[in-house]
Structure 1
Amino acid sequence: MAERKPIESWLTDMDGVLIHEGVPIPGADAFIKRLRESGKPFLVLTNNSIYTARDLHARLLRMGLEVPEENIWTSALATAKFLDDQRPGGTAYVVGEAGLTTALHAVGYVLTDSQPDFVVLGETRTYSFEAMTKAVRLINEGARFICTNPDATGPSLEGVLPATGSVAALITAATGKKPYFVGKPNPLMMRAGLNQIGAHSETSAMIGDRMDTDVLAGLEAGMTTYLVRTGLTSDADIDRYPYRPSRVVDSIADLVDRI
Protein backbone atom coordinates (compact mmCIF):
# COMPACT_ATOMS: atom_id res chain seq x y z
CA MET A 1 0.00 0.00 0.00
CA ALA A 2 1.38 3.43 -0.95
CA GLU A 3 2.40 5.70 1.92
CA ARG A 4 -0.22 8.31 2.68
CA LYS A 5 0.22 11.76 4.14
CA PRO A 6 -0.22 12.15 7.93
CA ILE A 7 -3.86 12.37 9.02
CA GLU A 8 -4.85 15.93 9.88
CA SER A 9 -8.64 15.55 10.09
CA TRP A 10 -11.02 12.81 11.17
CA LEU A 11 -14.52 11.74 10.19
CA THR A 12 -16.25 9.07 12.23
CA ASP A 13 -19.58 7.31 12.06
CA MET A 14 -21.67 7.49 15.22
CA ASP A 15 -23.69 4.27 15.71
CA GLY A 16 -21.45 1.24 16.05
CA VAL A 17 -18.31 3.36 16.44
CA LEU A 18 -18.96 5.85 19.26
CA ILE A 19 -22.20 4.44 20.67
CA HIS A 20 -24.16 1.19 20.57
CA GLU A 21 -27.85 1.02 21.51
CA GLY A 22 -27.63 4.28 23.41
CA VAL A 23 -24.47 3.39 25.35
CA PRO A 24 -20.98 4.82 24.65
CA ILE A 25 -18.46 2.32 23.34
CA PRO A 26 -15.39 2.11 25.63
CA GLY A 27 -12.76 4.56 24.42
CA ALA A 28 -15.20 6.87 22.62
CA ASP A 29 -14.98 9.55 25.31
CA ALA A 30 -11.16 9.46 25.23
CA PHE A 31 -11.17 9.65 21.42
CA ILE A 32 -13.46 12.70 21.30
CA LYS A 33 -11.53 14.38 24.14
CA ARG A 34 -8.21 13.84 22.32
CA LEU A 35 -9.68 15.19 19.08
CA ARG A 36 -10.96 18.35 20.77
CA GLU A 37 -7.64 18.91 22.56
CA SER A 38 -5.66 18.41 19.35
CA GLY A 39 -7.47 21.18 17.51
CA LYS A 40 -7.69 18.97 14.42
CA PRO A 41 -10.86 19.32 12.30
CA PHE A 42 -13.32 16.50 12.85
CA LEU A 43 -16.91 15.46 12.18
CA VAL A 44 -19.23 12.87 13.66
CA LEU A 45 -21.44 11.55 10.85
CA THR A 46 -24.75 9.76 10.75
CA ASN A 47 -26.97 8.63 7.89
CA ASN A 48 -29.95 9.02 10.22
CA SER A 49 -31.88 12.18 9.27
CA ILE A 50 -34.35 12.18 12.17
CA TYR A 51 -32.45 14.44 14.54
CA THR A 52 -30.97 17.92 14.21
CA ALA A 53 -27.32 18.52 15.08
CA ARG A 54 -28.52 20.24 18.26
CA ASP A 55 -30.59 17.18 19.20
CA LEU A 56 -27.61 14.89 18.64
CA HIS A 57 -25.28 17.17 20.60
CA ALA A 58 -27.65 16.91 23.58
CA ARG A 59 -28.11 13.15 23.24
CA LEU A 60 -24.35 12.53 23.05
CA LEU A 61 -23.70 14.88 25.97
CA ARG A 62 -26.07 12.86 28.14
CA MET A 63 -23.89 9.83 27.34
CA GLY A 64 -20.73 11.68 28.34
CA LEU A 65 -19.58 12.52 24.80
CA GLU A 66 -19.07 16.25 24.26
CA VAL A 67 -19.41 16.84 20.52
CA PRO A 68 -20.17 20.47 19.51
CA GLU A 69 -23.06 21.04 17.09
CA GLU A 70 -20.70 22.27 14.40
CA ASN A 71 -18.87 18.92 14.50
CA ILE A 72 -21.98 16.88 13.67
CA TRP A 73 -22.86 16.14 10.05
CA THR A 74 -26.07 14.30 9.17
CA SER A 75 -27.53 13.05 5.91
CA ALA A 76 -30.26 15.68 6.40
CA LEU A 77 -27.69 18.50 6.44
CA ALA A 78 -25.93 16.99 3.42
CA THR A 79 -29.25 16.71 1.57
CA ALA A 80 -30.12 20.35 2.31
CA LYS A 81 -26.68 21.44 1.10
CA PHE A 82 -27.09 19.40 -2.09
CA LEU A 83 -30.54 20.84 -2.86
CA ASP A 84 -29.37 24.38 -2.11
CA ASP A 85 -26.53 23.88 -4.62
CA GLN A 86 -28.84 22.32 -7.21
CA ARG A 87 -31.80 24.70 -6.95
CA PRO A 88 -31.41 27.55 -4.44
CA GLY A 89 -34.67 28.70 -2.88
CA GLY A 90 -36.57 25.70 -4.18
CA THR A 91 -39.59 23.83 -2.88
CA ALA A 92 -39.97 20.33 -1.49
CA TYR A 93 -42.54 17.87 -0.20
CA VAL A 94 -40.86 16.15 2.74
CA VAL A 95 -41.51 12.77 4.31
CA GLY A 96 -39.32 12.90 7.39
CA GLU A 97 -38.67 14.35 10.81
CA ALA A 98 -37.37 17.58 12.36
CA GLY A 99 -33.76 16.90 11.40
CA LEU A 100 -34.67 17.08 7.72
CA THR A 101 -37.31 19.82 7.78
CA THR A 102 -35.10 22.05 9.95
CA ALA A 103 -32.13 21.60 7.60
CA LEU A 104 -34.23 22.48 4.55
CA HIS A 105 -35.76 25.53 6.23
CA ALA A 106 -32.25 26.69 7.15
CA VAL A 107 -31.19 26.86 3.48
CA GLY A 108 -34.34 28.75 2.51
CA TYR A 109 -36.48 25.93 1.14
CA VAL A 110 -40.29 26.16 1.20
CA LEU A 111 -42.03 22.93 2.20
CA THR A 112 -45.20 22.33 0.22
CA ASP A 113 -47.37 19.63 -1.33
CA SER A 114 -48.32 21.87 -4.26
CA GLN A 115 -46.14 21.26 -7.34
CA PRO A 116 -42.84 20.95 -5.40
CA ASP A 117 -39.50 20.84 -7.18
CA PHE A 118 -38.52 17.79 -5.14
CA VAL A 119 -39.98 14.98 -3.09
CA VAL A 120 -37.49 14.39 -0.26
CA LEU A 121 -37.70 11.14 1.68
CA GLY A 122 -35.89 10.82 5.01
CA GLU A 123 -35.89 8.62 8.07
CA THR A 124 -39.02 8.58 10.24
CA ARG A 125 -40.61 6.28 12.76
CA THR A 126 -44.12 7.16 11.52
CA TYR A 127 -44.27 6.46 7.78
CA SER A 128 -47.90 6.89 6.77
CA PHE A 129 -49.69 5.43 3.79
CA GLU A 130 -51.15 8.88 3.11
CA ALA A 131 -47.72 10.52 2.96
CA MET A 132 -46.32 7.80 0.70
CA THR A 133 -49.33 8.07 -1.61
CA LYS A 134 -48.83 11.84 -1.83
CA ALA A 135 -45.14 11.31 -2.62
CA VAL A 136 -45.99 8.84 -5.40
CA ARG A 137 -48.49 11.23 -7.00
CA LEU A 138 -46.15 14.23 -6.84
CA ILE A 139 -43.29 12.24 -8.39
CA ASN A 140 -45.62 11.06 -11.15
CA GLU A 141 -46.51 14.71 -11.73
CA GLY A 142 -42.86 15.65 -12.23
CA ALA A 143 -41.23 16.24 -8.84
CA ARG A 144 -37.66 14.94 -8.63
CA PHE A 145 -37.12 12.13 -6.11
CA ILE A 146 -34.38 12.60 -3.48
CA CYS A 147 -33.56 10.40 -0.47
CA THR A 148 -31.36 11.24 2.49
CA ASN A 149 -29.83 7.76 2.68
CA PRO A 150 -30.16 4.27 1.18
CA ASP A 151 -30.16 2.20 4.40
CA ALA A 152 -32.83 -0.50 4.04
CA THR A 153 -32.98 -1.18 7.78
CA GLY A 154 -32.05 0.54 11.01
CA PRO A 155 -31.39 -0.62 14.58
CA SER A 156 -33.65 -0.21 17.58
CA LEU A 157 -33.81 -1.63 21.08
CA GLU A 158 -36.63 -3.91 19.88
CA GLY A 159 -34.76 -5.12 16.78
CA VAL A 160 -34.47 -4.21 13.11
CA LEU A 161 -36.70 -1.48 11.67
CA PRO A 162 -37.46 -0.74 8.00
CA ALA A 163 -35.62 2.43 7.01
CA THR A 164 -35.45 4.97 4.19
CA GLY A 165 -34.16 2.59 1.54
CA SER A 166 -37.06 0.18 2.04
CA VAL A 167 -39.67 2.93 1.72
CA ALA A 168 -37.82 4.36 -1.29
CA ALA A 169 -38.10 0.94 -2.96
CA LEU A 170 -41.87 0.99 -2.43
CA ILE A 171 -42.15 4.45 -4.01
CA THR A 172 -39.89 3.41 -6.90
CA ALA A 173 -42.07 0.36 -7.53
CA ALA A 174 -45.12 2.62 -7.68
CA THR A 175 -43.58 5.34 -9.88
CA GLY A 176 -40.83 3.67 -11.89
CA LYS A 177 -38.53 6.51 -10.70
CA LYS A 178 -35.37 5.78 -8.75
CA PRO A 179 -34.24 8.35 -6.17
CA TYR A 180 -30.90 10.08 -5.86
CA PHE A 181 -29.41 9.07 -2.50
CA VAL A 182 -27.30 11.78 -0.86
CA GLY A 183 -26.03 9.94 2.25
CA LYS A 184 -23.37 7.27 2.60
CA PRO A 185 -22.07 5.47 0.59
CA ASN A 186 -22.38 8.44 -1.78
CA PRO A 187 -19.00 10.19 -1.44
CA LEU A 188 -20.88 13.46 -1.94
CA MET A 189 -21.79 13.41 1.77
CA MET A 190 -18.15 12.94 2.71
CA ARG A 191 -16.84 15.63 0.39
CA ALA A 192 -19.46 18.10 1.57
CA GLY A 193 -18.47 17.28 5.15
CA LEU A 194 -14.79 17.79 4.40
CA ASN A 195 -15.58 21.14 2.81
CA GLN A 196 -17.58 22.06 5.91
CA ILE A 197 -14.47 21.75 8.11
CA GLY A 198 -11.92 22.90 5.53
CA ALA A 199 -10.27 19.48 5.28
CA HIS A 200 -8.72 17.57 2.37
CA SER A 201 -9.33 13.91 1.56
CA GLU A 202 -5.66 12.98 1.19
CA THR A 203 -5.01 13.98 4.82
CA SER A 204 -8.32 12.72 6.27
CA ALA A 205 -9.53 9.44 7.73
CA MET A 206 -12.99 7.88 7.92
CA ILE A 207 -13.85 5.52 10.78
CA GLY A 208 -16.86 3.24 10.45
CA ASP A 209 -18.38 -0.11 11.31
CA ARG A 210 -19.89 -0.92 7.91
CA MET A 211 -18.12 -1.93 4.73
CA ASP A 212 -21.04 -1.04 2.44
CA THR A 213 -21.48 2.55 3.65
CA ASP A 214 -18.67 3.93 5.81
CA VAL A 215 -15.68 2.24 4.22
CA LEU A 216 -17.03 2.52 0.67
CA ALA A 217 -17.83 6.23 1.05
CA GLY A 218 -14.43 6.96 2.59
CA LEU A 219 -12.66 4.95 -0.09
CA GLU A 220 -14.49 6.69 -2.95
CA ALA A 221 -13.83 10.09 -1.37
CA GLY A 222 -10.09 9.31 -1.32
CA MET A 223 -9.62 8.99 2.45
CA THR A 224 -7.80 6.56 4.70
CA THR A 225 -10.42 4.16 6.10
CA TYR A 226 -10.61 2.39 9.45
CA LEU A 227 -13.13 -0.38 10.14
CA VAL A 228 -13.96 -1.09 13.79
CA ARG A 229 -15.23 -4.44 15.03
CA THR A 230 -17.79 -2.92 17.45
CA GLY A 231 -20.60 -2.65 14.93
CA LEU A 232 -22.24 -4.69 12.21
CA THR A 233 -19.25 -6.08 10.31
CA SER A 234 -17.31 -9.23 11.23
CA ASP A 235 -13.92 -10.29 9.88
CA ALA A 236 -15.67 -12.92 7.77
CA ASP A 237 -17.86 -10.23 6.21
CA ILE A 238 -14.85 -8.18 5.08
CA ASP A 239 -13.67 -10.85 2.65
CA ARG A 240 -17.01 -10.80 0.84
CA TYR A 241 -16.34 -7.31 -0.51
CA PRO A 242 -14.14 -6.50 -3.52
CA TYR A 243 -12.42 -3.70 -1.57
CA ARG A 244 -10.81 -3.42 1.84
CA PRO A 245 -10.42 -0.76 4.52
CA SER A 246 -6.96 0.71 5.04
CA ARG A 247 -6.91 -0.80 8.54
CA VAL A 248 -9.15 -2.99 10.74
CA VAL A 249 -9.09 -2.31 14.50
CA ASP A 250 -10.98 -3.74 17.46
CA SER A 251 -12.56 -0.44 18.52
CA ILE A 252 -12.30 3.34 18.57
CA ALA A 253 -10.07 2.97 21.63
CA ASP A 254 -7.30 1.67 19.35
CA LEU A 255 -7.23 4.96 17.45
CA VAL A 256 -6.85 7.40 20.37
CA ASP A 257 -3.05 7.38 20.12
CA ARG A 258 -3.13 7.96 16.36
CA ILE A 259 -4.54 11.49 16.74
Structure 2
Amino acid sequence: MMTEPRWNYLMDMDGVLVREEHLVPGADAFIAELRENSVPFMVLTNNSIYSPRDLRARLHRTGLDIPEDSIWTSALATAQFLDQQRPGGSAYVVGESGLTTALHNIGYVLTDRDPDYVVLGETRTYSFEAITRAIRMVEGGARFIATNPDEKGPSRDGSLPATGAVAALIEKATGRAPYFVGKPNPLMMRSALRNLGAHSESTLMIGDRMDTDISSGLEAGLQTVLVLSGISDASTAEVFPYRPTLILDSVADLVGNTANPFKSVDT
Protein backbone atom coordinates (compact mmCIF):
# COMPACT_ATOMS: atom_id res chain seq x y z
CA MET A 1 0.00 0.00 0.00
CA MET A 2 1.44 3.35 -1.07
CA THR A 3 1.71 6.04 1.58
CA GLU A 4 0.84 9.66 0.93
CA PRO A 5 3.83 12.02 0.66
CA ARG A 6 4.75 14.14 3.65
CA TRP A 7 4.37 17.68 2.34
CA ASN A 8 6.85 20.48 2.90
CA TYR A 9 5.91 24.12 2.48
CA LEU A 10 7.55 27.13 0.91
CA MET A 11 5.51 30.32 1.15
CA ASP A 12 5.77 33.97 0.29
CA MET A 13 5.46 36.39 3.19
CA ASP A 14 3.69 39.56 2.05
CA GLY A 15 0.21 38.83 0.77
CA VAL A 16 0.27 35.29 2.16
CA LEU A 17 0.97 35.66 5.88
CA VAL A 18 0.84 39.43 6.32
CA ARG A 19 -0.53 42.34 4.37
CA GLU A 20 0.49 45.92 5.05
CA GLU A 21 1.87 44.97 8.48
CA HIS A 22 -1.36 43.18 9.45
CA LEU A 23 -1.89 39.46 9.91
CA VAL A 24 -3.81 37.68 7.16
CA PRO A 25 -6.72 36.11 9.07
CA GLY A 26 -5.98 32.47 9.79
CA ALA A 27 -2.25 32.71 9.05
CA ASP A 28 -1.41 32.32 12.75
CA ALA A 29 -3.45 29.11 12.99
CA PHE A 30 -1.80 27.81 9.79
CA ILE A 31 1.75 28.43 11.06
CA ALA A 32 0.84 27.02 14.49
CA GLU A 33 -0.41 23.80 12.88
CA LEU A 34 2.77 23.43 10.82
CA ARG A 35 4.92 23.86 13.92
CA GLU A 36 2.81 21.62 16.15
CA ASN A 37 3.04 18.81 13.60
CA SER A 38 6.75 19.40 12.86
CA VAL A 39 5.97 20.06 9.20
CA PRO A 40 9.05 21.53 7.47
CA PHE A 41 8.43 25.01 6.08
CA MET A 42 10.28 28.10 4.89
CA VAL A 43 8.99 31.66 4.51
CA LEU A 44 10.42 33.37 1.43
CA THR A 45 10.73 37.05 0.64
CA ASN A 46 12.36 39.05 -2.15
CA ASN A 47 12.93 41.84 0.37
CA SER A 48 16.69 42.13 0.95
CA ILE A 49 16.55 45.01 3.43
CA TYR A 50 16.05 42.96 6.58
CA SER A 51 17.85 40.02 8.15
CA PRO A 52 15.89 36.93 9.25
CA ARG A 53 16.16 38.20 12.83
CA ASP A 54 14.57 41.52 11.83
CA LEU A 55 11.81 39.75 9.92
CA ARG A 56 11.13 37.35 12.78
CA ALA A 57 10.57 40.36 15.05
CA ARG A 58 8.31 42.01 12.47
CA LEU A 59 6.23 38.85 12.05
CA HIS A 60 6.08 38.30 15.81
CA ARG A 61 4.46 41.73 16.22
CA THR A 62 1.63 40.57 13.96
CA GLY A 63 1.13 37.38 16.01
CA LEU A 64 3.21 34.93 13.95
CA ASP A 65 5.86 32.85 15.70
CA ILE A 66 8.36 31.93 12.99
CA PRO A 67 11.96 30.90 13.77
CA GLU A 68 14.84 32.77 12.13
CA ASP A 69 16.01 29.62 10.37
CA SER A 70 12.60 29.29 8.71
CA ILE A 71 12.99 32.63 6.89
CA TRP A 72 14.79 32.78 3.54
CA THR A 73 15.46 36.14 1.88
CA SER A 74 16.77 37.14 -1.54
CA ALA A 75 19.83 38.52 0.30
CA LEU A 76 20.60 35.07 1.74
CA ALA A 77 20.00 33.41 -1.63
CA THR A 78 22.29 35.96 -3.30
CA ALA A 79 25.03 35.37 -0.73
CA GLN A 80 24.75 31.60 -1.16
CA PHE A 81 24.91 31.98 -4.94
CA LEU A 82 28.04 34.16 -4.77
CA ASP A 83 29.69 31.79 -2.31
CA GLN A 84 29.19 28.97 -4.81
CA GLN A 85 30.30 31.05 -7.79
CA ARG A 86 33.34 32.80 -6.33
CA PRO A 87 34.14 31.87 -2.71
CA GLY A 88 35.92 34.57 -0.72
CA GLY A 89 35.26 37.23 -3.33
CA SER A 90 34.60 40.95 -3.04
CA ALA A 91 31.61 43.14 -3.75
CA TYR A 92 30.48 46.73 -3.89
CA VAL A 93 27.02 46.70 -2.31
CA VAL A 94 24.12 49.07 -2.74
CA GLY A 95 21.68 47.92 -0.10
CA GLU A 96 20.85 47.59 3.57
CA SER A 97 22.08 45.49 6.50
CA GLY A 98 20.14 42.39 5.45
CA LEU A 99 22.34 42.16 2.35
CA THR A 100 25.64 43.34 3.80
CA THR A 101 25.32 40.98 6.77
CA ALA A 102 24.58 38.03 4.49
CA LEU A 103 27.68 38.77 2.41
CA HIS A 104 29.88 39.30 5.48
CA ASN A 105 28.72 35.94 6.81
CA ILE A 106 30.04 34.08 3.74
CA GLY A 107 33.41 35.82 4.07
CA TYR A 108 33.00 38.42 1.34
CA VAL A 109 34.98 41.64 1.45
CA LEU A 110 32.87 44.73 0.85
CA THR A 111 34.86 47.30 -1.06
CA ASP A 112 34.61 50.15 -3.55
CA ARG A 113 37.98 49.31 -5.13
CA ASP A 114 37.99 46.88 -8.03
CA PRO A 115 35.30 44.49 -6.67
CA ASP A 116 34.47 41.17 -8.27
CA TYR A 117 30.78 42.07 -8.18
CA VAL A 118 28.43 44.99 -7.92
CA VAL A 119 25.54 43.69 -5.82
CA LEU A 120 22.35 45.73 -5.89
CA GLY A 121 19.67 45.23 -3.27
CA GLU A 122 16.75 47.19 -1.94
CA THR A 123 17.11 50.28 0.20
CA ARG A 124 14.83 53.11 1.27
CA THR A 125 17.59 55.63 0.56
CA TYR A 126 19.04 55.02 -2.90
CA SER A 127 21.98 57.39 -3.29
CA PHE A 128 22.80 58.98 -6.65
CA GLU A 129 26.46 58.84 -5.63
CA ALA A 130 26.26 55.12 -4.84
CA ILE A 131 24.45 54.37 -8.10
CA THR A 132 27.06 56.37 -10.04
CA ARG A 133 29.85 54.37 -8.40
CA ALA A 134 28.04 51.15 -9.25
CA ILE A 135 27.76 52.22 -12.90
CA ARG A 136 31.48 53.00 -13.10
CA MET A 137 32.43 49.69 -11.49
CA VAL A 138 30.24 47.71 -13.88
CA GLU A 139 31.81 49.66 -16.76
CA GLY A 140 35.18 48.72 -15.29
CA GLY A 141 34.42 45.01 -15.43
CA ALA A 142 32.63 44.14 -12.18
CA ARG A 143 29.93 41.51 -12.63
CA PHE A 144 26.43 42.86 -12.01
CA ILE A 145 24.14 40.98 -9.59
CA ALA A 146 20.77 42.11 -8.23
CA THR A 147 18.87 40.48 -5.40
CA ASN A 148 15.45 40.66 -7.08
CA PRO A 149 13.64 42.20 -10.06
CA ASP A 150 10.75 43.90 -8.21
CA GLU A 151 10.36 47.32 -9.80
CA LYS A 152 8.43 49.02 -7.03
CA GLY A 153 7.38 48.52 -3.46
CA PRO A 154 4.63 49.90 -1.25
CA SER A 155 4.80 52.62 1.37
CA ARG A 156 2.26 54.60 3.34
CA ASP A 157 2.63 57.45 0.87
CA GLY A 158 2.48 55.34 -2.30
CA SER A 159 4.86 53.36 -4.49
CA LEU A 160 8.64 53.46 -4.04
CA PRO A 161 11.25 52.52 -6.66
CA ALA A 162 12.70 49.13 -5.82
CA THR A 163 15.65 47.00 -6.92
CA GLY A 164 14.39 46.23 -10.42
CA ALA A 165 13.86 49.91 -11.27
CA VAL A 166 17.33 50.91 -10.11
CA ALA A 167 18.83 47.88 -11.88
CA ALA A 168 17.20 49.11 -15.11
CA LEU A 169 18.86 52.49 -14.62
CA ILE A 170 22.30 50.89 -14.21
CA GLU A 171 21.68 48.56 -17.15
CA LYS A 172 20.66 51.47 -19.37
CA ALA A 173 23.79 53.40 -18.41
CA THR A 174 26.21 50.47 -18.84
CA GLY A 175 24.60 48.18 -21.39
CA ARG A 176 25.14 45.33 -18.89
CA ALA A 177 22.10 43.44 -17.63
CA PRO A 178 22.16 42.12 -14.06
CA TYR A 179 21.65 38.54 -12.98
CA PHE A 180 18.62 38.50 -10.69
CA VAL A 181 18.76 35.85 -7.96
CA GLY A 182 15.34 36.30 -6.31
CA LYS A 183 11.90 35.29 -7.54
CA PRO A 184 10.88 34.52 -10.25
CA ASN A 185 14.29 32.91 -10.70
CA PRO A 186 13.71 29.27 -9.62
CA LEU A 187 17.20 29.42 -8.09
CA MET A 188 15.55 31.11 -5.09
CA MET A 189 13.26 28.10 -4.65
CA ARG A 190 16.02 25.56 -5.09
CA SER A 191 18.27 27.26 -2.56
CA ALA A 192 15.38 27.31 -0.07
CA LEU A 193 14.72 23.61 -0.73
CA ARG A 194 18.36 22.77 -0.05
CA ASN A 195 18.30 24.66 3.22
CA LEU A 196 15.05 22.98 4.17
CA GLY A 197 16.39 19.55 3.22
CA ALA A 198 13.27 18.99 1.11
CA HIS A 199 12.59 17.51 -2.32
CA SER A 200 10.62 19.36 -4.98
CA GLU A 201 8.22 16.45 -5.56
CA SER A 202 6.82 16.73 -2.03
CA THR A 203 6.88 20.51 -1.62
CA LEU A 204 4.20 23.15 -2.10
CA MET A 205 4.87 26.79 -2.96
CA ILE A 206 2.20 29.19 -1.67
CA GLY A 207 2.11 32.68 -3.14
CA ASP A 208 -0.14 35.57 -4.06
CA ARG A 209 1.48 36.44 -7.41
CA MET A 210 1.28 34.41 -10.60
CA ASP A 211 4.28 36.12 -12.23
CA THR A 212 6.75 35.48 -9.40
CA ASP A 213 5.59 32.95 -6.79
CA ILE A 214 3.68 30.56 -9.04
CA SER A 215 6.01 30.90 -12.02
CA SER A 216 9.16 30.17 -10.03
CA GLY A 217 7.44 27.37 -8.12
CA LEU A 218 6.45 25.66 -11.34
CA GLU A 219 9.91 26.05 -12.83
CA ALA A 220 11.43 24.51 -9.70
CA GLY A 221 9.13 21.49 -10.04
CA LEU A 222 6.87 22.27 -7.07
CA GLN A 223 3.14 21.98 -6.59
CA THR A 224 1.77 25.53 -6.35
CA VAL A 225 -1.00 27.27 -4.43
CA LEU A 226 -2.27 30.72 -5.39
CA VAL A 227 -3.94 32.53 -2.49
CA LEU A 228 -6.25 35.48 -3.07
CA SER A 229 -5.28 37.33 0.12
CA GLY A 230 -2.69 39.51 -1.62
CA ILE A 231 -2.21 40.93 -5.10
CA SER A 232 -4.10 38.38 -7.22
CA ASP A 233 -7.83 37.87 -7.54
CA ALA A 234 -9.72 34.95 -9.05
CA SER A 235 -9.51 36.36 -12.59
CA THR A 236 -5.74 36.89 -12.45
CA ALA A 237 -4.87 33.25 -13.00
CA GLU A 238 -6.84 33.21 -16.26
CA VAL A 239 -4.47 35.77 -17.83
CA PHE A 240 -1.43 33.49 -17.68
CA PRO A 241 -0.65 30.46 -19.87
CA TYR A 242 0.09 28.34 -16.79
CA ARG A 243 -2.03 27.51 -13.77
CA PRO A 244 -1.40 26.82 -10.09
CA THR A 245 -2.26 23.43 -8.64
CA LEU A 246 -4.76 25.04 -6.23
CA ILE A 247 -6.44 28.42 -5.88
CA LEU A 248 -7.57 29.23 -2.33
CA ASP A 249 -8.91 32.31 -0.60
CA SER A 250 -6.06 32.23 1.94
CA VAL A 251 -3.84 29.91 3.96
CA ALA A 252 -6.72 29.67 6.44
CA ASP A 253 -8.25 27.16 3.98
CA LEU A 254 -5.34 24.82 4.66
CA VAL A 255 -5.84 24.70 8.44
CA GLY A 256 -6.71 21.13 9.36
CA ASN A 257 -5.38 19.88 6.02
CA THR A 258 -1.64 20.61 6.16
CA ALA A 259 -0.80 16.87 6.09
CA ASN A 260 -2.76 16.56 2.84
CA PRO A 261 -3.43 20.02 1.41
CA PHE A 262 -5.41 18.63 -1.50
CA LYS A 263 -8.23 17.69 0.88
CA SER A 264 -9.10 21.40 0.89
CA VAL A 265 -10.57 20.99 -2.59
CA ASP A 266 -11.79 17.40 -2.40
CA THR A 267 -15.45 16.97 -3.25
Range 205-214 or range 235-244, more displaced: 235-244
Equivalence map 1:38-49=2 (5 Å): 38-49=37-48
SS of corresponding position for 2:83: helix
2:94 is aligned to: 95
1:247 is aligned to: 246
Unmatched runs of 5 consecutive residues or more in structure 1? none
**Are the aligned partners of 1:24 and 1:63 in contact in 2 as well (CA < 8 Å)?**
yes
Unmatched runs of 5 consecutive residues or more in structure 2? 259-267
2:114 is aligned to: 115
1:258 deviation in Å? 2.2
Partner Cα separation in structure 2 for residue 118 and residue 186 of structure 1: 19
Partner Cα separation in structure 2 for residue 221 and residue 256 of structure 1: 25
Partner Cα separation in structure 1 for residue 226 and residue 158 of structure 2: 23
**Are the aligned partners of 1:7 and 1:205 in contact in 2 as well (CA < 8 Å)?**
no
1:237 is aligned to: 236
1:205 is aligned to: 204
Range 135-144 or range 149-158, more displaced: 149-158
SS of corresponding position for 1:158: coil
Range 152-161 or range 87-96, more displaced: 152-161
How many residues align structurally? 255
SS of corresponding position for 1:196: helix
**Are the aligned partners of 1:145 and 1:178 in contact in 2 as well (CA < 8 Å)?**
yes
Letter in 1 for 2:72: W
Partner Cα separation in structure 2 for residue 74 and residue 223 of structure 1: 19
1:67 deviation in Å? 0.3
Deviations 1:203-237 (A, max 9, x none): 00000000010000110000010001011112222
1:51 is aligned to: 50
The two structures have a TM-score, normalised by structure 1, of: 0.97
Partner Cα separation in structure 1 for residue 159 and residue 243 of structure 2: 26
Partner Cα separation in structure 2 for residue 172 and residue 6 of structure 1: 44
Partner Cα separation in structure 2 for residue 7 and residue 30 of structure 1: 19
Partner Cα separation in structure 2 for residue 150 and residue 26 of structure 1: 29
1:153 is aligned to: 152
The two structures have a TM-score, normalised by structure 2, of: 0.94
2:13 is aligned to: 14
1:257 deviation in Å? 2.2
Deviations 1:28-73 (A, max 9, x none): 1001101111112110010000000000011111111000000000
1:131 is aligned to: 130
Letter in 1 for 2:146: C
Identical-residue share of aligned pairs (%): 65
**Are the aligned partners of 1:210 and 1:232 in contact in 2 as well (CA < 8 Å)?**
yes
Partner Cα separation in structure 1 for residue 247 and residue 155 of structure 2: 26
Partner Cα separation in structure 2 for residue 226 and residue 158 of structure 1: 31
**Are the aligned partners of 1:73 and 1:193 in contact in 2 as well (CA < 8 Å)?**
yes
**Are the aligned partners of 1:21 and 1:157 in contact in 2 as well (CA < 8 Å)?**
no
Letter in 2 for 1:184: K
Deviations 1:13-42 (A, max 9, x none): 000000000000001100110111111211
2:263 is aligned to: none
2:174 is aligned to: 175
1:240 deviation in Å? 1.3
Range 45-54 or range 151-160, more displaced: 151-160
- Superposition CA RMSD, Å: 0.9
1:160 deviation in Å? 1.6
Partner Cα separation in structure 1 for residue 233 and residue 36 of structure 2: 32
Which 4+ residue blocks in structure 1 deviate beyond 3 angstroms? none
Partner Cα separation in structure 2 for residue 91 and residue 170 of structure 1: 23
1:255 deviation in Å? 1.3
SS of corresponding position for 2:247: strand
1:165 deviation in Å? 0.4
